[in-house]
Structure 1
Amino acid sequence: MQGYFKRTALAVSATAFLLGTSGLAWASTPLPAGLPPCLSGPPGQVWQLGDPYDGYPMPRPGTPGGGPPQQQVTSPDGKTTTVQTGHSLFPESDPWDNPTNLLPTVYHDVYDSLCHLVPNTLSSSPEHPYNLHDEPTVTDIDKSSPYTDLEAILASFHQAGNDDKGRFDNNGKSNGPLRIDPAQVQRAIDILEGNPIPNRVYSGMPVLHYNGPDKQKTVDPVTKNVNVHVIYYRSHIEADTSLLDTMGVLDDTWTITYTVDSLDKGSDDFSPSTMTFDDPNAFGGLASGANSMKPLIMQDLTFFPQKEGKRYVYHLKQSPGRFFNGIYTWGWRVHPGRVQFMENQNKAALGHNLLQWEQLSFGEHPMASRANQLAAIGKISNLAPEKRMWNAFNALRDGHYTSGPAAAALVSEIEAAFDDWDHRGRLPRGVQPDPNADITLFYANNTIYAHVKGYTDPNAHMEYTQWVTRSKGNKAVIKIINGDYFDRGYMSVDFGGMRGWENTFQNTVPVGGDGAWFTFGREHWFPNVFPVLIPAATPGNTTAPVQVSPQALMRRPGREFRETELDPDGDSLKKYKRPLPSLPSANGDTLSEHTIVLNWNFDPSRRLRFYQFDPLHHDVAVFSMH
């Protein structure tokens, strides 16, 4: 593998031939003298073939395609939002046949709207397939995951029918007599809560997603680095960091030291994708108001193959902190389930910054005390499979059950919830899809479960195949049901269908990778749907309040990343009626619901049709559609 980072000229030529590129990369250089300023010309100017900036990766600002601006209207009752997206820069085409939105690959850093190069915006070139990091260090680890350990605990409850590894038999569970070990029950609760688990690399990463306020880190302004721990297993990517403060490195490049553990069934290509803003200094700076942040590009920083039972340590280069929007770490082998997002915590959306949204939901420090922990866990829906497991394990412990019918009923409940947890491509028990919706999303445990009409296999690689071009299948009805007892949100983003994308990544087959065929490459992102509030569900039983100080919720002028499309002042919350939860559920909760009617006026990117997520609690609350 080391040889792949010190490649010979012959290897470079072979790769270039395979991908149809020249063997010479275009070094990032300043623009030639005499060109007009980048921001000259009419509003919304886009650099087209033959203009002075042709051949350079440039911003694509304004309303694309010269069509009407994006329109987003919410109904008077606050329950339906209808969206007409912006228009394409390109002629209509079938992206799976002749994609007009696939841009020529340019091996060059991107320019911002001030005509300045943005450092570290070229992640791969023929000479350097992994341009933003050196060779990672690789060591062996115990590959046990939360899934395998919970599975083993459940199997241990059955005296008969286990295989020789202590796992479930071929039927998934045993009908033998139960013998509940209280120590194993407590161990399961500790796994779900993220309490310390000896000899496990995942220790401290809860299955219950209640600890968002404690997943905040700051880039060290002296070392210009931050350390992030990530684990892959089955359909999950989890990280110890979901909110990042880059204020100390606004003008400096910086690095992330990633420690990435591939646990049981966690093999994949490591592909953190940085979403980058245009330079806010081109629009008045951070203190200038809601118009200072504008979309620029997104790129896979690497696409490095990882095998289960291994730990990989990377040092990944980043652009200066003022460009930082967030990093979308995804796994194409189990997508859309396998995803995690690390946000700029100073972004403001719907009236609060992202750290404040987490604090409003779970308190300032949910893991600081047992009372804080229980109050925060109490905000998670009782319909969430993870919470159903937690409730049943607690009932086993508190009832001192070791056998008998009551224990059997609780174990059966845990096993059913355990299976639901493993299948985010279907709705869990107690939640029904909307028959009038193309996609039904269920918000629970601060993540997203989904039903896509036409899919019956929850293990399938799910695609929204109806949308082919801007005139064929270009409408989706998306029903969102919130089961969590805190406010959630909905937003959708386009990854280059509207404004274009480049397939910058090189052939990585020599090291077992798949970069050129699956990576997002480098694309010009833009919102499809601006943030929509999905109000909290009403629990059937009273929950304890979380504690948040007034100081924590204060606005921070000059320290907020404010993008108009994110509604940083929460104007839409004042404009539209806040609907009350109205959807009853069998467990006594009243769920909140909202319908998105999304009309696309461009062709999709062939790599990802659309990205959809909770903009207030991003982390693992994502369900993208290929």
Structure 2
Amino acid sequence: MFLKSFRWAAVVALPVAATLGGAPASAQDDSLLTVPPAAGNLSGINQFCIDMFSSGQQPRVPFESRRDNAVRDENGVELVAPTITELTTASGVAVFPENPDYPNGDSYSTNPSNLIPTVYENIKSCRGNEIINTLPSTPDNPYNLHDDPVVTEIDKTSPTDDLDFIMDRIHVLSKPRKVCRNFRGRQHCYRYPRRVSQGDLRRLARHAVNIIEGNELQGRYADRAYEGFPLLHYLGGLKEKAVDPVTRSVTVNQIWYDTHIESDTAYIDPIAVDDDDEWYIKYNVKILNRGHEDFAPYMMVYDDPLELDLSDVGGPDLTQAGLAVPRIPNVGLDQTFFPMEEGLMYTLNMKMPPARFWNLTYHWGWRIHPPRVQVVENVRAVLATPNGPMPRNFAEIAVFGENPRESEASKLAAIEMIGDTAPAKRMWRMFRELGNMTTNRRPGRYFRGLNGSAVQAQLAQIREAFYDWSNRTQLPTGYEMGEGYDMTVLFLNNTIYGQLRDHDGIAQVSMSGRDVWDKRGDEVKIQLLNGDYFRHAYVLVDFGGLRGWENTFHNTLPVGGAGPLFTFGRNAFWIHVAGRGAIPIPNAVRPEQVTPTPLTSAMDQLVGFKKGNHHWTDALYSAMGGTPDTMSDYVNTDGVGEHSLNVIFSYEPSRRLRMYQFDALHHDTAVWSVH
């Protein structure tokens, strides 16, 4: 059980059939049964790492305890997967005593109980050896881990800007004509549908599809800084890079705009630098419109797997006689907190610790957090599966293929794995319909082109999907929070949408002042939903509330930044599902029939249509046609996978972040953190 940071076998071995979760779990729910505890207890190595070797590490704690409604045989083997889980962090253990000055467990006081003294040194391994490049900032050198960025001017136009422009152009092309006539001294005005040029509509729609798919762009959109970064998250099989053994460096390209961080890299293979020396991630970070932010890559570091045979001092051998690579939580840290401005690309080289320590780097922006997040993982930090250890990206490749861009068929097959209710896929589908729209008749002198009413109706639905895509701090059209939950986490488009109870979907996603989780013993009821056609797996991580956090950053307010007000600093992280594994959320079930859009509905109404004829009753051509139905009627959420989770917290939250939630199998942009 020490071979990995998560247990995955339960995730990938469960049946594919979706089940519904039902009501939220409750600590008083007698229908839930105790889940057999995980073997081992990492708190047992504290006496060696802390007491014997004086490493200065924060204490490790027991794994979580769980109850659920699964059906198991007499040997504890799961026969029917659970739909409700109750999880108690660290099996109820807390590292810090309750603060007598703050009986309600106020972590936002001037002296939080889980704030530990800042030490301006590199962190240490279990045996007290220094782990290089783990001190991000000091009073003398505020940017301790990277060189001065090289700054280059770029075109700051974002996908949001160009999609908005395309929709505006389609609106102008298709808006009704207004005609006014004077009769007996009075003016009478009326509107009738404008005829839309098929060629103009097709060109605009295809530009939009190319943006959404991340294809090569043409015309006015050519050479955009965002070219190649799709809105649909289906390219995971192509997002692995290897560290160059000569330069000891790998290049990561990112774009930051609106609520988004997109990267061409989600996995790095550092095998070429598997030694005791440092290596580098070279970042090219492009800040597009509305992307102003502080660059804050948060790195998670394991303990040294080469030191964890403790049998020489009377302890356990976590390496199993050298047959296993133990990856146990140590420390996470913001590597920098550097202000970035729109219209500029920042190139910098980030120093990394030896590759065996590196778990992942979590890029985040506090101004819109979540959803402004993106993760790059160590592909060599393997996942355990029923078929043996697998690289971190095995699930991405299994779902989307090794090269979704190999052919048009490969691309469409990959995109089809994304749920139809995903806002980006809704836009993609409806733009494709507009691009393929035809009158199916010979051009004539009158009524040439397409009926603008049908185009306007389709455009209204595209706009709604566009707004849904733009905001992941609330649930998209068609979804609602279940009754009794504090939070809903929705896996969709290989990312995460979420919503807090009574949150307006605009303000920072924060539990502060919401009477949800302020002190140890509080419960948070979470509704987990999956709208994609593949399995997701929920993971909950703590950033120092349980084991402690320190603040190592300086004030960047004078130069447009915000540290140390918002940085995570450095903290002893803990994985709340490490004992029994990530919580799987069943995939959505495909509808038997695709939900109609205004355009497909209009096509279905062409009764008695003949080539060359025009019918005033046909929705595509009639002056009265194309009126949109209620927006949500075009988003069918039947068949969505669901799981109900109740978390009982044994500690006060960290001031920096309460809950780091992500998808174990498809990390990248699938993160939804709560302050």
TM-score, normalisation: structure 1:
0.80
Q: Using a 3 Å threshold, how does the CA distance of structure 1 residues 224 and 613 change in structure 2: closer, same or farther?
A: same
2:132 is aligned with 1:109: no
1:357 aligned onto 2:395: yes
1:84 equivalent to 2:135? Answer no
2:664 to 594, 603, 615: 615
Q: Report the 3-state secondary structure (helix = DSSP H, G, I; strand = E; otherwise coil) of the residue aligned with 2:45.
A: coil
1:217 aligned residue (206, 228, 241): 241
Does 2:460 correspond to 1:431?
A: no
The equivalent of 1:72 in structure 2 is 66
Rate the CA distance shift 1:625–1:363 in 2: closer, same or farther, 3 A: same
Q: Give the Cα separation in 1 of the matches to 2:509 and 2:437.
A: 41
* Letter in structure 1 aligned against 2:668: D
Q: SS of 1:361's equivalent?
A: helix
Structure 2: distance between partners of 1:453 and 1:287: 49
Residue identity opposite 2:241 in structure 1: K
1:131 is aligned to 2:144:
yes
**Counterpart mapping for 1:144-543 below 5 A:** 144-159=157-172, 179=196, 181-197=201-217, 198-251=222-275, 252-283=277-308, 288=322, 292-349=326-383, 351=385, 352-400=390-438, 402-455=450-503, 457-465=504-512, 466-471=515-520, 474-529=522-577, 530-541=581-592
Structure 2 unmatched ranges of 5 or more: 1-41, 71-80, 99-104, 176-191, 310-318, 440-449, 595-632
Residues 1:273 and 1:250: Cα distance change in structure 2 (over 3 Å): same
* Distance across 2 between alignment mates of 1:540 and 1:240: 32
Report the residue type matching 2:107 in the other structure.
P
Change (3 A) 1:288 1:467: farther
Shift of 1:403: 4.0
Q: What amino acid maps onto 1:270 in structure 2? A: F
Label 1:286 to 1:210 Cα distance change in 2 as closer, same or farther (>3 A).
farther
- 1:94 — aligned with what? 106
Contact kept in structure 2, 1:349 and 1:531, CA below 8 Å:
no
Q: Deviations over 1:520-565 (max 9, x none)?
A: 000000012341111221111599xxxxxxxxxxxxxxxxxxxxxx
**Contact 1:437-1:479 at 8 Å conserved across structures:** yes
In structure 1, distance between residues paired with 2:384 and 2:127: 29
Q: Secondary structure of 1:151's partner?
A: helix
Aligned counterpart, 1:560: none
Question: C-alpha distance in 2, partners of 1:499/1:507?
Answer: 25
Q: CA deviation at 1:60?
A: 2.9
- 1:239 Cα deviation (Å)? 0.5
Per the alignment, in what secondary structure is the counterpart of residue 349 of structure 2? strand
- The equivalent of 2:38 in structure 1 is none
Is the deviation greater in 177-186 or in 88-97? 177-186
Match of 2:653 in 1: 604
**Distance change in 2, residues 1:90/1:61 (3 Å):** closer
* Structure 1 CA distance for aligned equivalents of residues 417 and 453 of structure 2: 30
Contact 1:361–1:487, Cα closer than 8 Å, also in 2: no
Pairwise CA RMSD: 2.7
Q: 1:263 to 1:116 in 2, by over 3 A?
A: same
Q: CA contact under 8 A between 1:94 and 1:468: conserved in structure 2? A: no
Letter of the 1:317 partner, please give it: K
Give CA-to-partner distance per residue, 1:282-304, whole Å, 9 cap, x none.
23559956660000111111100
The 1:233–1:483 alpha-carbon spacing in structure 2 relative to 1, beyond 3 Å, is same
Quick one: distance in 1 between partners of 2:247 and 2:572? 30
Larger radius of gyration: 2
CA distance in structure 2 between the partners assigned to 1:338 and 1:588 by the alignment: 25
Structure 1 unmatched ranges of 5 or more:
1-39, 163-174, 544-583
Distance in 2, matches of 1:177 and 1:463, equals: 47
The answer as to whether partners of 2:171 and 2:459 remain within 8 angstroms in 1 is no
Q: 1:443 to 1:99 in 2, by over 3 A?
A: same
Task: Calculate the TM-score normalised by the size of structure 2.
Answer: 0.74
Against the structure 1 CA distance between its residues 42 and 73, is the aligned structure 2 distance closer, same or farther, given a 3 Å change threshold?
A: closer
- Contact kept, 8 Å, 1:46 with 1:59, in 2: the verdict is no
Residues 290 and 615 (structure 1), Cα distance of their counterparts in 2 relative to 1, 3 Å cut: farther
Distance across 2 between alignment mates of 1:46 and 1:496: 21
The number of residues matched between the two structures is 526
Structure 1 residues 591 and 115: alpha-carbon distance in aligned structure 2, compared to 1, 3 A threshold: same
> How far 1:599 sits from its partner (Å)?
0.7
Provide the C-alpha distance between the structure 1 equivalents of 2:153 and 2:249, rounded to a whole number of angstroms: 25
- Match in the other structure for 1:576: none
For 2:282, give the aligned amino acid: T
What's the offset of the Cα at 1:41? Answer: 11
Give the 3-state SS of the residue equivalent to 1:157 in structure 2: helix
Deviations 1:15-49 (A, max 9, x none): xxxxxxxxxxxxxxxxxxxxxxxxx996333888x
Q: Counterpart of 1:596 in structure 2: which amino acid?
A: L
- Superposition deviation, residue 194 in structure 1: 0.5
Q: CA 1:176–1:525 in 2, change beyond 3 Å: closer, same or farther?
A: farther
Counterpart code for 1:113: C
Matches within 5 A, 1:582-593: 587=636, 589-593=638-642
**Within 2, Cα distance between the matches of 1:41 and 1:218?**
35
In the alignment, which residue of structure 2 is the partner of 1:549?
none
Residues in 1 aligned to 2:321 and 2:529: alpha-carbon distance in whole angstroms: 36
* 1:309 positional shift: 0.8
AA paired with 1:360?
A
SS in 2 for 1:45: helix
Please show how residues 32-47 of structure 1 align to structure 2 within 5 Å: 43-45=45-47
The CA deviation at 1:590 is 1.4
For the residue of structure 1 that corresponds to 2:657, the secondary structure is coil
Partner of 1:59: 57
Deviations 1:46-92 (A, max 9, x none): 888xx7877x6x333542xxxx6421343215111211111221122
1:18-33 counterparts in 2 under 5 A? none
Distance 1:43 1:389, change over 3 A: same
1:491 positional shift? 0.4
Indicate the percent of aligned positions where both proteins have the same amino acid.
41
C-alpha deviation, 1:313, in angstroms:
0.4
User: How much does 1:141 deviate?
Assistant: 0.8
After TM superposition, give the deviation of residue 404 of structure 1 in Å: 2.6
Cα displacement (A) at 1:134? 1.4
Deviation at 1:624, TM superposition (A): 0.3
Cα offset for 1:245?
A: 1.1
User: What amino acid is aligned across from residue 45 of structure 1 in structure 2?
Assistant: Q
Whole-angstrom CA distance in 2 between matches of 1:229 and 1:191: 17
User: Residue 400 and residue 264 in structure 1: after superposition, are their counterparts in 2 closer, same or farther (change >3 A)?
Assistant: farther
Give the SS at the match of 2:46: coil
2:326 is paired with a residue whose SS is coil
Note if contact 1:159-1:176 (Cα within 8 Å) is conserved in structure 2.
no
